């Protein structure tokens, strides 16, 4: 019966997430589109002809009305034909690149496939211009698993993100494991030794870290562990990229490059979570059933790690589960400072270049991650606490 209710609950939550994702997508799409023309810089390059510029704008559909662009982003535009005119003065571009030097007779319609095989272009030469009917064959839309082409890089969005995502996952998962180990260890240690010297020291450091923005933690870490350690003649840590230049890309070199980014991502979260663990442990340790367990002669270690920790961790499950996507998103600043080639660096670069296809895909991925981890958190919470009812 309980498993049936769990299945119904998961299905209900997934259905509720669909309109939420649609709303997020619409808002982000129109906000980014209102930021400016991503292909405006083409008009500043004297090497690009008017025909080049017009065909590139037709390729990405940036001159279509915003609602039409949104529909094309959802379901693709491989069925849509755009009509434009190219000046005949640019025949040096039209002839070699579109029809391999062939002269198009006056008024004759010629249908061509571009060299990459992704677009169909129909040309009609008329007086001093070419009338072009342009249709793409490769843009299927996100509902068919196609997130389009990166405007800045000229490659599929999924391919661009696929190169950066593993690097961010490596950094994020490692940071999260460090957070779990140190947050629970420090929180339990502080709760057992409440108001001791070590408890006060850890509390002070935690308050300092929680009050600091992540970029400040990163800059201080670079100054101490890279700049000053090098001045003092101590082994210093690298601060740029994933590997050193002219190396064999060893695992040891990768770990050295990960130390500072992982520390910056984990430090603030460890400080905050350890305070929650401490407070929850103190509340549970002083409860009646723990005193009963002590009166029965159970060992202090068994009481702490078997009876107290399970109940004390319940509030942390929700908090940490919801923070997982934002720990990955928080890598945006850290990756930028340490030149880590992950999703954060890709996001900042794409935002600066108005590469809205990549930015929207990043935001949509983050929204989906929030929905999934929130659902996992709710299910895990119910597993740990049988009192929770799915109905």
Tally of domains within the chain: 2
Same domain, 163 and 224: yes
Q: Which of 91-105, 251-265, 325-339 is least confident?
A: 91-105
Same domain, 97 and 195: no
Residue 281's domain spans which residues? 157-384
pLDDT tens figures, 266-311: 998 899 999 989 998 888 888 888 888 888 887 878 888 877 887 8
Same domain, 89 and 196: no
Distance from C-alpha of 40 to C-alpha of 182, rounded to nearest angstrom: 49
Residue 163 has φ and ψ, to the nearest 5°, of: -80, -30
Q: Are 210 and 271 in contact (CB under 8 A)?
A: yes
Same domain, 185 and 321: yes
Angle at 369 between CA 366 and CA 370, to 5 degrees: 90
Q: Is residue 165 part of a domain?
A: yes
Distance from C-alpha of 318 to C-alpha of 380, rounded to nearest angstrom: 9
pLDDT tens figures, 135-162: 666 678 888 888 888 888 888 899 999 9
pTM: 0.79
pLDDT tens figures, 307-342: 788 788 877 777 777 777 766 665 788 888 998 998
Of residues 342 and 127, the one with the higher pLDDT is 342
Average pLDDT for 255-262: 92
pLDDT tens figures, 167-204: 988 998 899 899 999 999 999 999 988 889 999 999 99
pLDDT band at 246 (very low <50, low <70, confident <90, very high): confident
Same domain, 361 and 300: yes
Distance from C-alpha of 292 to C-alpha of 173, rounded to nearest angstrom: 39
Same domain, 103 and 54: yes
The CATH number of the domain holding residue 67 is 3.30.70
Classify the phi-psi angles of 64: left when phi > 0, otherwise alpha if psi is within -120 to 50, otherwise beta.
Answer: beta
Same domain, 191 and 102: no
What is the four-CA torsion angle of 326, 329, 330, 334, rounded to 10 degrees?
A: 160
> Does 64 score more than 90 pLDDT?
no
Would you state the pLDDT for residue 6? Answer: 72
The CATH number of the domain holding residue 166 is 1.10.3720.10
Q: Is residue 289 part of a domain?
A: yes
């Amino acid at each position: 019966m309980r498993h049936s209710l769990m299945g119904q609950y998961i299905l209900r939550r997934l259905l509720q997430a669909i309109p939420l994702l649609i709303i997020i997508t619409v808002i982000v799409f129109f906000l980014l589109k209102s930021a400016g023309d991503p292909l405006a810089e083409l008009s500043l390059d004297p090497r690009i002809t008017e025909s080049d510029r017009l065909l590139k704008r037709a390729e990405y559909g940036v001159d279509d009305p915003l609602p039409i662009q949104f529909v094309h982003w959802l379901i693709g535009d491989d069925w849509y034909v755009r009509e434009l005119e190219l000046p005949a003065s640019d025949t040096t571009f039209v002839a070699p690149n579109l029809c391999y030097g062939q002269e198009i007779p006056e008024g004759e319609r010629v249908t061509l496939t571009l060299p990459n095989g992704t677009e169909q272009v129909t040309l009609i030469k008329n007086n001093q211009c070419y009338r072009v009917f342009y249709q793409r064959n490769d843009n299927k839309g996100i509902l068919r698993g196609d997130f389009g082409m990166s405007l800045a890089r000229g490659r599929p969005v999924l391919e661009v993100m696929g190169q950066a995502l593993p690097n961010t996952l490596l950094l994020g998962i490692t940071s999260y494991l460090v957070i779990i180990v140190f947050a629970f260890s420090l929180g339990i240690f502080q709760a057992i030794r409440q108001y001791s010297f070590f408890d006060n020291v850890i509390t002070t450091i935690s308050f300092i870290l929680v009050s600091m923005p992540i970029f400040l933690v990163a800059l201080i870490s670079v100054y101490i562990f890279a700049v000053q350690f090098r001045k003092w003649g101590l082994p210093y840590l690298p601060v740029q990229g994933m590997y050193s230049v002219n190396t064999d890309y060893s695992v040891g070199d990768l770990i050295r490059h990960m130390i500072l980014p992982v520390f910056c991502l984990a430090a603030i979260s460890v400080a905050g979570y350890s305070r929650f663990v401490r407070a929850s442990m103190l509340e549970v340790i002083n409860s009646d059933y723990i005193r009963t367990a002590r009166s029965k002669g159970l060992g202090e270690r068994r009481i702490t790690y078997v009876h107290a920790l399970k109940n004390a961790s319940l509030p942390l499950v929700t908090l940490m589960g919801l923070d997982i996507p934002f720990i990955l998103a928080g890598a945006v600043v850290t990756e930028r400072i340490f030149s880590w080639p992950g999703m954060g660096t890709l996001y900042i670069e794409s935002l600066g270049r108005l590469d809205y296809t990549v930015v929207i895909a990043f935001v949509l991925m983050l929204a989906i991650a929030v929905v999934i981890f929130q659902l996992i958190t709710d299910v895990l919470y119910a597993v740990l606490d049988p009192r929770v009812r799915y109905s």
